[in-house]
Every structure is written in C-alpha cells, then in structure tokens.
Amino acid sequence: MNKQGNLYTILYIAAIVCVVGAALAWVSLSLKPKQQENIEIDKMQQMLSSLHITSEKENAKELYAKYIVDSYIVNLNGEKQEGNAFDVDIAAEIKKEPAERLLPVFVCHVDQSTKYILPVYGAGLWGPIWGYISVNEDGNTVYGAYFSHQGETPGLGAEIATPHFSQQFNDKHLFVNGEFKSIAVEKKGQKPADGAEYVDAISGGTITSKGVQSMLKSCLECYSTFLTNLQTTK
C-alpha cells in the first residue's frame, strides 16, 4: 500500500483512534469502582458534617457506620417504602411530583439521642445546590446543617458552604405552633411574614440565599408528615 496515499492516511488515523479509544475505555472501566467509592465517601462526609462530626476520607466509612444506625425510605405520608436510602438520587427525585418521591431518612445516634438526617436539593444562581439537615428526635428542632454547591460565586453565594452560614440553623424549628413553616433565609434585619424562624442571608448572595430557602421549603415539606409522626410518638 502506498504510504503516501490518502487511503493509508485514513486507515492509519482510524487505527490510532480505535487503539486510543479502547485504552480510554479500559482506563474508565478500571477506575469506575474507585470513583464510585469516592462519591460514596464524600456523601458520608457530608452527612456526618450535618451532625457536627468532622471526618477524613480515611475514616469516613468507620464514622458513618458508628453514628448512622439505620436508614430507610418514606413517602409523602411518612410510610416506609422498599429500597436503599443511600442509593436514592435526590436530584432525580426532586423533579417528580411530591406524592411520587422517594424520601430517604438516615437515623443517627449522637449525644445519647436519636437524630434524623434528611437530604435537600435545589437550585442556586449558577447551578445545583444541596445539603443535609439533621433533626432532633422531637421531629422539629434542627440539630445541624450542611450545604454545598456546584458553581456559586466565590465570596458570595459560595458562602452557603461555610460553617458561618450553616451553623445559624442549629436549634431552629421547622414547625411553629404545630404548623410546618420550614426555615426562612432573610436579609439581615428582616423577618418572614409567615412567622417562620429564620437565619441571615449571605451578603451579596441574595439569589443563592433564596435558593436555599426554596430548597428547604420544597424538600422538607415533603417530610412534614414523617416529622409530625415523630412528634406524636415522642
């Protein structure tokens, strides 16, 4: 075959593409289990953070197994459903109607009492935001919170991922006079009109702050019956 001809060039390039493609596919498949493990460990660390427990990659699994003693899925009526709570894709569930959602619950034992971790997911200014809210066994008082984001503005909306913001949620109440209100995120000096308890918004991050407020309202409201049941059985 003429090595200077077009046919040879095309076949040579095609062979190189096939070899490189096969190599990349093999590397991807080889690394996938490790990548999945890293994703799971990061998720464990985030949940532990909502319990005020600091963890490292090396001990996250151990601490998760120590403090998270049970997990299950509930529906809008607070009834347990089939499935693995850890594997539920919250980003996919939030797109469904509330009555169709799978709602994960993670049961924890911390400070000699039971806590319940509830995942939340929403939209910020530039992309997704998410987090975990841990609630005391009274089904009303927030024990801790953790928030993160995909691409909020550094120094502004990205501040939702800092302890300074999340620690404001400690000891706030989701119900006021027996009615679910969630927790508002308001500009400093302002209060919500509906009487909900509130925290201060991020200065200069109004849209992201309101995204957190909407996220909490839309996600936690789906747990309101489950939380009410905790209150009545306490």
For residue range 137-169, list pLDDT tens digits in order: 999 999 999 999 988 989 899 999 999 999 999
- At residue 217, what are phi and psi to the nearest 5 degrees? -65, -50
Residues in the chain: 234
| pLDDT confidence bin for 18, thresholds 50/70/90 | confident
Q: Say which amino acid occupies 209.
A: S
200's CB contacts (< 8 A; 6+ apart) are 168, 185, 186, 187, 188
| Position 1 pLDDT exceeds 70 | no
pLDDT of residue 31: 59
For range 115-142, the mean pLDDT = 97
Has residue 186 got a pLDDT over 60?
Answer: yes
Question: Domain residue spans in the chain?
Answer: 48-233
What pLDDT digit, counting tens, does each position of 42-100 carry? 999 999 999 999 999 999 999 999 999 999 999 999 999 999 999 999 999 999 999 99
Whether the Cβ atoms of residue 157 and residue 205 lie closer than 8 Å to each other: yes
Q: For 179-212, b where at least 16 C-beta lie within 10 A, e where not — what string?
A: ebbbbbbbeeeeeeeeebbbbebbeebebbbbbb
The residues, ordered by sequence, that sit 6+ positions from 111 with a Cβ below 8 Å of its Cβ are none
pLDDT (0 to 100) of residue 147: 98
Q: What is the mean pLDDT of the chain?
A: 91
d(CA 140, CA 133): 11
pLDDT of residue 22: 75
Mean pLDDT of 108-124: 96
CA-CA distance, 109 to 51, in Å (whole number)? Answer: 10
* Cβ proximity of 226 and 118 under 8 Å: no
